Every structure is written in structure tokens, then in C-alpha cells.
């Protein structure tokens, strides 16, 4: 049980996917302009990464490994993720149009979010079993959501400050991310 | 021939994928801890980019428009798998250093971006040069970021110590926050140069009133001129 909690805390805070592993930077910088969009994207990412980790884990353990095809994992995983995002999109459109509308363009864009493929590949590398894969996927996505929501709230304050001209736009956001990253390094001291 | 060299110039300087277009930020931030890693990652990506541009350009009349993105992803993923196996077999030290970021070349936006923006509209020869130019531009940016971070954080460049005795390197620069800081600095420098040229242009040609696309502070152009 402790090891399972450790996986969630570790992947959400200690090895934060954005601030420590640098995955999903594009959407982290691009979408964090608005608080609401950030929270929606976070929710969508939690949804997709958790399911993608589960499916990738099942496929790897039951199909790729017994057939000796584990070198095909990159190709198979990216196809699974693309198909999955498509299915999730169609499902939400039909069953819950409200959520679908809230997520908008960010849902299909998750396919190219390297965090999804990154988590699937790291899980396999670490030799996690099914439950550990799902938890690590969920924890990673939770870490992504925490980071993007925090950055969105910092950016809403930055907007009102007088910033030197060359630092406006991307540089000040990256500096904010750097400070967040320093803060998150503190979690490395967590031990059970 | 001129056309081919123009692609190289375009990729390395004019439309540098990392510093100007801001594509492929994930690998830039992640593997730039050492200058050597930057070169390794840059060249691996260049190899994939040249091959994917070539294949996609050669197949551009065969791939139906509706399924082009899935087709591109499969092509890129196959090439990345081949590259990964080759690196694992022949340069195991680089494979260890780059780890998960080699398979993640698949989702590098530079590759799909060039396929969509250039390779599927041009001949294989031009597409290869475009891939080479963009790949080299990416490599230059990565190596530069790696060298700065290695110098500040580790006191060395390409593994050779350059700091004098007794000068302590700033460790944070080889850790994750340093990546964000160094890239922020690079973009700020590019911005500063851009603002200067734009202001000079404003003084010469006058402001067209396009405040929406202008990042130069209004009314400060005269002060700069006096200096």
C-alpha cells in the first residue's frame, strides 16, 4: 500500500512531469494564459493519460512481450494514444456535450502532448504492473494539472505588472516556471 | 543550387526551429544539461528529420489527404525506432544519457511541423535540404543551451574544465530550473535585438498604428534615438 501511495506522490510532486521531466511543455506554456482553459486541459489530460497508461500496459504485457515485439512499443503506443483520444472525443461528444464543449480544441491536441507517450514508455521501462501503471499515469497527470493551474494563476498576476520589454511574453513565463521548478525541488526531501 | 542553400540558411538562422519558431521545447529543456548531449540529441533528430522529410515528400502524391497525419506519425515512429536501435547498438553512452527522450522524438513538433508545412508540398531534394537545415538549426540551439548550462552549472564545456581553481560553479543551472532560466535568457536576448531593430525601423518609416502586433513601448522611440 505504501509503495502505491509513493508512486502517486512521486509522480505528481517529486518527479513532476512538467517542472522536472520537461514533458508537455508546449501546452504548459501555450494554454496557461487562462485559468479556466488550464483547469479544463488538466482534467482532459488526467482522463487520457490514466486510460492510455492502462491500455498501453495491457497491450505491452499481453501482446507485445509474449510475441517478442517490444521494440515496436513506440509505434504501437503512439497509435493507441491517437486512437484513444479520438474515441474519448467521440464518446464525450455523444454522452456529455457540456464537458466536450468545455475542453474544445485541447482534447485532440493531447495526442501530440509528449507527456502521454512519455508516461507509457517510462512505465514499461520501470517494469510496473497494471495497477502501478494506472496509478503512475494518474499521478503524473495530477502533477501536470497542479503545475499548469499554478502557472495560470501566476500569469494572471504577471499581466498586471510592469515588466521590462525584452522579458515580456515567453521569457517571463519561463522564469516563473523556473521559480516553480525550484519550489518543487523541495519535494525531493519527502520520504516515507 | 541556390534554392538548396537557401533552405539551409532558412533552417539554421532565419527560421531557427527552437529560437525563432519555439518548436521542440521539451527536448531542448530536458537534454541541454551538457553540450555533448545537445549535439547527440540534435544529430539524432536531424537524421530522423532528413529521412522523414524525404519519405513523406516522395510519397506525397500517394498518401490520401484525409489520412495524412496518421500516415506521417507511423512513418516518423518507424524511423525513430530504427534510430533508437542504432544508437543503442553503437553509442550506448549516448543512449544512457538521453534515455526516454530518444523515443520521444516521435512527438517532437519540429518533425510533424516540417512534414506538414514543407515536405508534403515540395520535391524530395528540397525536402532533404529543409530537413538538414532545420535539424542543424535545432542542433546549434541545443548545443548552445547545453554549453551555457554546462559552463555555469558544472564549470566545463564539452567535459573540459574551464573555470579557474576556487571558483564554485552554480549547481542549479544543470538542474531542471536552470533549463527554464537559460532558455528564458536566450529568448529575452533575441527579443531585445528584435525590439532594437523594430524601433530603428519605426524611426525611419514611422509607426503604422499597428499597436496590436507591436511590442515596442509606445512613445519611447524618441528617447532611444537620442541615446
Q: Residues B86, A111: contact at Cβ < 8 Å?
A: no
Closest by CA to A47, choosing from A140, A147, A122, is A140
All residues of chain B having their beta carbon less than 8 Å from the beta carbon of residue A175 are: 180-181, 184
- Residue B49 confidence (pLDDT): 92
Does B54 share its domain with B163?
yes
Select from A168, A184, A159 the least CA-distant residue to A18: A184
User: Among A118, A93, A115, A117, which Cα is nearest to A103's?
Assistant: A93
> What does DSSP assign to residue A170?
H
Q: Is A82 on the interface with B (CB under 8 A)?
A: yes
Both B189 and B210 in a single domain?
Answer: yes
pLDDT at B83: 92
Q: Which residues of B touch A171 (CB under 8 A)?
A: 184-185, 187-188, 191
Q: Are residues B164 and B179 in the same domain?
A: no
CA distance B83 to chain A (A): 12
Q: How far is B4 from chain A (nearest CA, A)?
A: 30
Provide, as residue numbers in chain A, all residues whose Cβ is less than 8 Å from the Cβ of B216. 165
Residue at A76 is within a domain: yes
Q: Determine the structural domain holding residue B28 and report its residue range.
A: 2-171
What would the grid cell of residue A16 be? 513532476
> Number of CB pairs < 8 Å for A and B?
116
The total number of structural domains that make up chain B: 2
Domain end, chosen from B153, B171, B189, is at B171
Domain assignment of residue A14, yes or no: no
pLDDT band at B222 (very low <50, low <70, confident <90, very high): very low
Contacts of A174 in chain B (CB under 8 A): 180-181, 183-184, 187
Q: Are residues B193 and B163 in the same domain?
A: no
Are both B49 and B159 inside the same structural domain? yes
- Are B140 and B220 in a shared domain? no
Residue-number span of the structural domain to which A65 is assigned: 20-189
Which of 114-173 (B) contact A at CB < 8 A?
172
Task: Please check whether residues B185 and B87 belong to one and the same domain.
Answer: no
The verdict on B119 and B191 lying in the same domain is: no
State chain B's maximal CA–CA distance in angstroms: 63
pLDDT higher than threshold 50 for residue B220: no
pLDDT at position A191: 60
Contact A82 B73 (CB under 8 A): yes
Chain B residues in contact with A79 (beta carbon < 8 A): 70, 73-74, 77
Q: How far apart are the first and last CA of chain A?
A: 12
Q: Which helix (H) or strand (E) holds A172?
A: helix A170-185
Residues A49 and A137: beta-carbon distance below 8 Å: yes
Helix pair B124-154, B2-9: axis angle to 10 deg: 30
Packing angle of the helix pair B35-58, B68-90 (nearest 10 deg): 140
* Closest CB from A25, A125, A170 relative to B100: A125
**Mean pLDDT, chain A cut into blocks of 10 residues (192 residues total):** 82 85 82 81 85 89 84 86 82 80 71 81 86 90 91 88 83 90 83 56
Q: Would residue A70 count as lying in a domain?
A: yes
**Per-residue pLDDT tens for B39-64?**
999 999 999 999 999 999 999 888 88
Provide the pLDDT confidence category of residue B224 given band limits of 50, 70 and 90.
Answer: very low
The answer to whether residues B84 and B196 belong to one domain is: no
Instruction: Give yes or no: residues B196 and B162 share one domain.
Output: no
| Residue B65 sits in the same domain as residue B90 | yes
Where a domain ends, among B126, B151, B171?
B171
Q: Does B20 contact A at CB distance below 8 Å?
A: no
Residue B104 touches partner A, C-beta closer than 8 Å: yes
CB-nearest partner of B217 from A165, A169, A170: A165
Considering its fold, how many domains does chain A have in total?
Answer: 1
Domain end marker among B171, B186, B214? B171
The verdict on B80 and B26 lying in the same domain is yes
Amino acid at each position: 500500500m505504501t509503495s502505491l501511495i509513493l508512486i502517486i506522490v512521486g509522480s505528481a510532486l517529486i518527479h513532476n512531469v512538467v517542472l522536472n521531466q520537461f514533458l508537455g511543455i508546449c501546452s504548459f506554456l501555450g494554454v496557461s494564459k487562462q485559468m479556466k482553459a488550464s483547469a479544463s486541459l488538466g482534467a482532459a489530460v488526467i482522463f487520457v493519460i490514466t486510460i492510455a497508461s492502462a491500455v498501453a500496459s495491457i497491450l505491452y504485457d499481453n501482446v507485445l512481450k509474449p510475441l517478442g515485439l517490444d521494440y515496436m512499443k513506440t509505434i504501437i503506443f503512439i497509435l493507441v494514444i491517437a486512437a484513444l483520444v479520438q474515441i474519448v472525443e467521440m464518446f464525450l461528444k455523444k454522452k456529455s456535450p457540456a464537458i466536450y464543449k468545455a475542453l474544445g480544441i485541447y482534447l485532440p491536441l493531447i495526442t501530440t502532448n509528449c507527456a502521454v507517450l512519455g508516461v507509457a514508455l517510462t512505465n514499461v521501462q520501470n517494469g510496473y504492473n497494471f495497477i502501478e501503471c494506472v496509478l503512475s499515469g494518474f499521478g503524473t497527470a495530477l502533477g501536470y494539472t497542479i503545475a499548469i493551474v499554478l502557472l495560470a494563476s501566476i500569469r494572471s498576476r504577471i499581466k498586471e505588472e510592469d515588466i521590462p520589454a525584452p522579458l515580456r511574453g515567453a521569457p517571463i513565463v519561463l522564469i516563473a516556471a523556473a521559480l516553480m521548478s525550484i519550489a518543487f525541488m523541495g519535494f525531493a526531501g519527502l520520504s516515507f | 543550387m541556390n534554392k538548396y542553400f537557401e533552405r539551409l540558411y532558412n533552417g539554421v538562422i532565419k527560421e531557427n526551429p527552437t529560437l525563432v519558431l519555439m518548436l521542440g521545447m521539451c527536448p531542448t529543456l530536458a537534454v541541454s544539461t551538457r553540450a555533448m548531449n545537445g549535439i547527440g540529441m540534435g544529430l539524432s533528430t536531424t537524421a530522423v528529420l532528413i529521412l522523414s522529410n524525404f519519405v513523406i515528400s516522395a510519397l506525397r502524391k500517394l498518401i490520401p489527404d484525409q489520412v495524412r497525419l496518421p500516415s506521417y506519425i507511423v512513418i516518423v515512429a518507424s524511423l525513430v525506432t530504427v534510430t533508437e536501435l542504432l544508437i543503442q547498438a553503437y553509442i550506448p553512452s549516448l543512449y544512457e544519457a538521453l534515455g526516454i527522450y530518444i523515443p520521444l522524438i516521435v512527438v517532437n513538433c519540429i518533425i510533424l511541423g516540417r512534414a506538414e508545412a514543407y515536405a508534403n508540398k515540395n520535391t524530395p531534394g528540397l525536402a532533404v535540404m529543409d530537413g538538414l537545415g532545420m535539424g542543424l538549426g535545432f542542433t546549434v540551439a541545443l548545443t548552445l543551451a547545453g554549453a551555457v548550462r554546462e559552463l555555469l552549472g558544472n564549470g566545463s564545456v564539452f567535459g573540459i574544465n574551464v573555470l579557474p581553481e576556487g571558483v564554485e560553479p552554480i549547481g542549479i543551472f544543470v538542474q531542471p530550473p536552470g533549463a527554464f532560466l537559460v532558455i528564458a535568457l536566450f529568448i529575452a536576448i533575441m527579443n531585445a535585438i528584435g525590439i532594437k531593430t523594430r524601433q530603428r525601423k519605426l524611426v525611419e518609416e514611422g509607426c503604422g498604428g499597428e499597436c496590436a502586433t507591436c511590442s515596442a513601448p509606445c512613445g519611447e522611440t524618441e528617447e532611444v534615438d537620442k541615446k
